[in-house]
Amino acid sequence: QPLLKTQLLGKTIEYIASTESTQIIAHQLAQTGVSHGTAVLAEEQTAGRGRMARKWDSAYGKGIWMSIILRPDIPVQRAPQFTLIAAVAVVRAIEEVTGLRPDIKWPNDILVNGKKCTGILTELQSDADGIQALIIGIGLNANQEADDFSEEVRNIATSLKMETGKHVSRQELVRSILFYLEQYTEIYIKEGFGVLKLMWESYSTTIGKKVRARMARETLEGIAEGITDDGVLQLRTADGKLHGIYSADIEMEK
């Protein structure tokens, strides 16, 4: 694969025309012991999945439906940082290939002009020895038209083509995503999360804003003050208390 600019990521690519979900395939492959950096790509997913048990529109040939298997030697509680790193890698790739300037909405939604063009779903295989595999699922809307989206998401979703008016190369995007993800993984392993956290913050639209965080049991409103080194959102409510938000749906005030 002469076009790939990576040492490890994407050196093995499992390419499938149609599957339920590349996450499922990646989980199976990870259990058979495939190497760090193996990527699963599909033209179409018939049951693509998003965070919080939502479904993910994955029309044939229109986007990047990819799951990457990573085997980092890090403690389980650091895994969420990888979601944030993956978001930065995807943002950089979109910038490089299209010239658009995407934003990140905590934890991992990538927005262009306020609409979602990419979602990231990180899943973990772990045991008493720690992380066996991190499965990073990336769903990137590349060449859809508004009609390609299901009605539920049509108002909140967009594609790179809808934003640029031009067809975008999925091949270039995949190459660039893998390149940046590899580079940032290396930085992360050598230097830790510090610089990557700064990069994430520089793209984030959430930090400094008044937000509403919907969680399974409660909804909190307040100012998103920042993220911790573990990627936990710090939310300050009107009573002055600081809350650590691990997982939620975020609504932002305009």
Interface residue with ligand BTN among 28, 46, 54, 246 (CB under 6 A) is 54
Q: How far is the CB of 25 from ligand BTN (least distance, A)?
A: 9
Interface residue with ligand BTN among 10, 102, 107, 137 (CB under 6 A) is 137
Which residue's C-beta sits nearest to ligand BTN? 119
Longest dimension (CA), the chain: 57
13-19 vs 109-112, strand pairing mode: unpaired
- Strand, coil or helix: 161: helix
Tokens at 88, concatenated: 């930065």
By CB under 6 A, tell whether 66 contacts ligand BTN: yes
Return the closest-CA partner of residue 108 out of 88, 125, 93: 88
31 labeled binding residue = no
**CA distance linking residue 141 with residue 199, whole number of Å:** 23
By CB under 6 A, tell whether 44 contacts ligand BTN: no
Which residue has tokens 């640029």? 164
By CB under 6 A, tell whether 51 contacts ligand BTN: yes
Stretch that binds ligand BTN, among 46-54, 70-78, 87-95, 185-193 (CB under 6 A): 46-54
Q: How far is the CB of 129 from ligand BTN (least distance, A)?
A: 26
The amino acid at 107: P
51 labeled binding residue = yes
Q: How far is the CB of 57 from ligand BTN (least distance, A)?
A: 9
Q: How far is the CB of 20 from ligand BTN (least distance, A)?
A: 8
By CB under 6 A, tell whether 222 contacts ligand BTN: no
By CB under 6 A, tell whether 21 contacts ligand BTN: yes
**CA distance linking residue 242 with residue 237, whole number of Å:** 7
- Strand, coil or helix: 121: strand
Q: How far is the CB of 68 from ligand BTN (least distance, A)?
A: 10
Q: Do the beta carbons of residue 105 and residue 117 sit within 8 Å? A: no
By CB under 6 A, tell whether 38 contacts ligand BTN: no
**CA distance linking residue 212 with residue 116, whole number of Å:** 18
Residues 109-130 as b/e (b if ≥16 CB within 10 A, e otherwise) read bbbbeebbbbbbbbbeeeeeee
By CB under 6 A, tell whether 22 contacts ligand BTN: yes
Binding residues, by number, are 45, 49-51, 116
Binding site for ligand BTN (CB under 6 A): 21-23, 45, 48-51, 54, 56, 65-67, 109, 119-121, 137-139
